[in-house]
Every structure is written in structure tokens, then in C-alpha cells.
Amino acid sequence: MACILVIDDDVDFCDTMASLIRRMEYDFHAVHTLREGLAFLGERAVDVVFLDVRLPDGNGLDAIPRIRASEGGPEVIILTGLGDPDGAELAIAAGVWDYLVKPFSVKQTRLSLDRALRYRMEKQQARKPDPLDLSAVVGESSAMKACYTLLAQAARSDSRVLITGETGTGKELFARTIHENSARAKGEFVVVDCASITETLLESTLFGHRKGAFTGADSDRIGLVKLADGGTLFLDEVGDMPLSIQKSFLRVLQEKRFRPVGETRELTSDFRLIAATNRNLQEMVEKGTFRQDLLFRLWTISLKLPALRERGAEDIRALARRHIRKLSMQHGSAARELAPDFLEVLCAYPWPGNVRELFNVLEVAFIASGENKTLYAMDLPREVRIRVMRAALAEGGNPEARLPQPHGLAPLNGELVRPAALPATGPMLEGDLPTLKDFKATMEALYLDTLIERTEGSPQDMMLISGLSKSHFYALLKKYGRSLK
């Protein structure tokens, strides 16, 4: 028997749906908040979820990835009293089955539910495809699981793919993973960095050239398009492709034929195209800086990668542990442990540079830790710790946002110690107390980092504000390994 869940705060509506669905001989359940709905989905499998948009504790659209990632991967039918085309677009983009605007008829509800269940049954009965090799990709958040679904579709087809996302989110890694799981895996994965190739050389680089075609062409050269024959051509940062080249490339996409510079005959190349960009190509089309016809031909499957700050703490921790293991192997050292305070700072930082910035910061911390077996928050760059500390203090002591410290253990005897003279140090004094020496050293280092940041590294201003003598000031810099630019 199919299990149907309704998440809607309108009790009368839920009663009406209960009557209808039970007459259809399906198992029915109703909850009135997102929290209750997600808790229910965490306990049992559901086939179809009817989801209201406006709920007392949040927007239903925001919860779609978590709902679809729950056990059984239920189909989702959105319910709303608002005829909102933007909301409908967001819902469909998130993979919902249907979008019903209240009030809707019994016939319309039955039809939508029957179709969703039929689709679900056929999908479950279909032959299970071979599992994907996702060993290069890290992440179990609902946002990433939604990406894996699209990755699987892309890998099992030969369709064009457009991958979008902020800089550093791993677009090339996803493109390579699609290639390595596709029927073209034995072919070449050829990368074209559209942002780094000059306009004068882009055509020669893509299509190749004949000897003597232009000054400096001392020999024949095979272009990247031909190298990708039988494999995948990956256009990285395609939004930076010069407008003058876009027309030429459009024909290559249509006919898979091209003419090298200085050549009289055309060549062919059977490549699969994957493109990536951190730009909004639709906005570029409207501004006239990107061809609309090229945009239409760049993708059949669109895959948007989430920013690291949208993926949650578990993904950040998993990425950190995996990269530290990799760094340990590269340096021929024993695997390093990650202290709780180290991970807490990583999870509190917003990561504007995404995974690329995370890996750079981890390498800095790894080197700063020297021969230590454990990485602590003190090993992280001071810019990261200061930003997290500022955010924590700006929250006015919010326990969710405060700055974790090196000895972040359980509260001492179940109570929180907060000396009145040091209101910002409360989090550090939770749990088993550090030694006074460690406490002083930590706070001294934090004070020094904040002083450097606020004075922009001016020694005169720092000594004036802190009241330190010149000799004491430079002794502290040496003690904590700080340098002034």
C-alpha cells in the first residue's frame, strides 16, 4: 500500500485530503510543520509528499532537497494558495512532481497522485543501472545528493551538460566524474580554459592550425576539439569565451565539423560537450555579451553545484578529514587528528572561496602544525579565526555562532562558567578547564591577532593601543610566530 504524507498547517484541508486518500485505499498521514514532516520522513519511507509552501516554521520549497533525499526518495507535489510562477519555477527546478494551486478539484488531485505513483512504480521496476564511481567526490548533504542524481543522468547519456556554480565549488571535478562514468571513459577528457586563452589564439587552440598559417606557426598543430574525438571536451569558464569565437564554435556544436586555421578542408570530431561557468549566462545574453543560440546548444542537462556554506557541517568535516589524509600521505607523515575546536572553526567560517579555499586553508594549517599529531584551531590562519571570532561576538553570545576554542569540552559539572570580567571568553571556559598557562596563551594570541587586524599591522598603533613596550611587543610577535606586512 502506497504511503502518502501531507505537510500542511491547514487542519481542515488535511481532513479533506485524509478522506480522499483513504477512499483511494492508500496509507495517509498528516503533519502541520516542516519539523514534524522531516522527523516523520526520518522514521519511515513515504511514496508521495504533498507539501505546502508557507508553513509556520519555514518555506516548504527550501525543504525539497531534504525531503527528496530521505529514505525511498518520495515524489513531491507542492501545494500553495498563491499562483506564484516564480515559486512554481523553483519547485520544478528542485525536482517536484507537480505544483497544485489551492483550491483544486478532487479530480485534479486524484490525477496528479495517480500519475506520480505510476511514475514511481515504473522507476522502481526499471533495471537498476550499474553503480557510479563517486570516489573522487565528497559529500552526503541533501544538496549534494541532488547533484548526484543529475550526475548519474549525465553519465548514462551522451547529452551536453552545463555545470554552474561559484568559483571553487568543484565544477571540473564533477565534469571529470561524469566523463569517467560515461561510455566515453576510454577517450580523452580535454580541458579548454576559456578564461586563460587569448582571443587571438583561441581559434588555433580549439581547431588547430597548419604550418605557416600565421607568424609563429612553425608546424602543424592538432586542436583540442580534435583531441577530444571519441571523448569529452570540457569548456571551463565558457562565459569568458570571446563573442567573436562563439559563432565559429556554434557551428562545431551543430555539425561536429571544423576547419583548422590555414586548412582548406574540414575535419570531424565526435566529442561529448560539457561546459562550466560561474557566470549567469542568461544575464549575459540579455546584455549581448553571450550568444543566445550558443547558450541553447550548450546543455541538455543543467547541473548547479551548491556553495560550500550551503552544504552543511558534515560535508565540511568530511572534506577536511579526506584532504588532511591526502596531505599526510604526500608529506610521508602519520595521519593527523583534527581537534574538535579545529573542526568547529571550519564549520563556522563562510568559505567565500568554497572547496578550493578550504583546501588552501587546510594546507596552511597542516604546515603550521609542524610535527604535531593533532591540528588545533590555533594552526588555522589568523584571518580565518578572526573572522569567525568577529561573527561570534556580533551574535551577542549565541551558542550556535560563538568562536570555538582549543579546549572545547563538555560543560564543567553541567554548568557554564562566565567570569564577569571576561564576557567574551565564556565559551572557552565551558567544560574541563584548560590550565591557566594554556588559557593565557590562547587569549594572548587572540588579542594579538585582533590587534594586528584592527590596526592593519601598524606597530605604532598596536603599541599605543595595547600599552606594550617595544621590546615586549616584538617578543610577543616572535612568541606566536606573527609577522607584520
- The DSSP-derived string for 33-97 is SHHHHHHHHHHS--SEEEEESEETTEEGGGGHHHHHTSTT--EEEEEESS--HHHHHHHHHTT-S
Contact between residue 306 and residue 341 where contact means Cβ atoms under 8 Å apart = no
338 vs 362: CA distance, rounded Å:
11
- Note the helical H segments in 334-427: 340-348, 354-368, 382-394
CATH of domain 408-485: 1.10.10
Q: In what order do the strands lie in the sheet with 161-164?
A: 189-193, 232-236, 272-277, 161-164, 301-304
Q: Among 62, 66, 61, which residue's Cα sits nearest to residue 77?
A: 61
Angle value at C-alpha 233, between 229 and 235, nearest 5 degrees: 155
- Note the helical H segments in 288-368: 292-298, 313-330, 340-348, 354-368
SS3 (DSSP) at 256: coil
144 vs 166: CA distance, rounded Å:
15
Range list for CATH 1.10.10 in the chain: 408-485
Q: Which CATH number fits domain 3-125: 3.40.50.970, 3.40.50.2300, 3.30.70.270, 3.30.70.20?
A: 3.40.50.2300
Residue carrying the nine cell digits 570540457: 234
Write phi, then psi, for 249 (nearest 5 degrees).
-75, -30
Residue carrying the nine cell digits 607568424: 215
Contact between residue 213 and residue 154 where contact means Cβ atoms under 8 Å apart = no
Taking the complete model, does pTM exceed 0.75, yes or no? no
Range list for CATH 3.40.50.300 in the chain: 142-306
Q: Which CATH number fits domain 311-404: 3.30.465.10, 1.10.260.40, 1.10.8.60, 3.40.50.1370?
A: 1.10.8.60
Q: Among 394, 388, 387, 381, which residue's Cα sits nearest to residue 408?
A: 388
Residues 6+ apart with CB under 8 A from 393: 403, 424
Range list for CATH 1.10.8.60 in the chain: 311-404
Contact between residue 471 and residue 461 where contact means Cβ atoms under 8 Å apart = no
Which homologous superfamily is 142-306 in?
A: P-loop containing nucleotide triphosphate hydrolases (3.40.50.300)
Range list for CATH 3.40.50.2300 in the chain: 3-125
Per-residue pLDDT of the chain (485 residues; tens, 9 = 90+): 899 999 999 899 899 999 999 999 999 999 999 999 999 998 989 999 999 888 898 888 888 888 988 888 899 998 877 656 656 666 676 678 888 887 788 888 899 999 999 988 888 876 667 788 999 999 988 889 889 989 999 999 999 999 999 999 999 999 999 999 999 999 999 999 988 877 777 788 888 888 888 877 788 889 999 999 999 999 999 999 888 888 878 888 888 898 888 888 999 999 999 999 999 999 999 999 999 999 999 988 999 999 999 998 999 999 999 999 999 999 999 889 999 999 999 999 999 999 999 999 999 999 999 989 999 999 999 999 989 888 877 765 443 434 333 333 333 333 333 333 333 444 455 556 667 777 777 788 888 888 887 887 888 777 778 877 777 877 788 787 777 75
Measured torsion, CA atoms of residues 425, 426, 431, 437, in degrees rounded to the nearest 10: 20
31 vs 49: CA distance, rounded Å:
11
